[in-house]
Amino acid sequence: MKQEPVRMCVVCRERFPKRELSRYVCPDTTPELETDGPVPDPEKTKPGRGYYVCVQARCREIFPKMIRGLMKKRKGEPK
């Protein structure tokens, strides 16, 4: 029997089966990243760093604000 992959929500840090989470991926180009932020990946197959968010309303509300900080850290910009 094959075990189902488990991923963690970047907001609440709870673990869920991968199929229950939404995945967002960083765009390839920096200008896109600064204007659009992460793009949804409904198929969960796009290459690149993925961020998973659970279905809780609180997590969905906080994610857009939180992701800006994660992106700055990833690019190596000062806080």
45 occurs within a structural domain: yes
Range of the domain at 13: 6-75
pTM passes above 0.85 = no
The pLDDT tens digits for 2-49 are 899 999 999 999 999 999 999 998 876 655 555 567 889 999 888 888
> Rounded distance, CA 55 to CA 24, Å?
13
50 occurs within a structural domain: yes
Q: How many domains does the chain have?
A: 1
In Å, what is the CA distance from 10 to each residue of 3, 22, 29, 48, 73?
22, 11, 22, 16, 14
1 occurs within a structural domain: no
CB atoms within 10 A of CB 16: 16
Residue 51: DSSP 8-state:
E
64 occurs within a structural domain: yes
> Rounded distance, CA 65 to CA 10, Å?
12
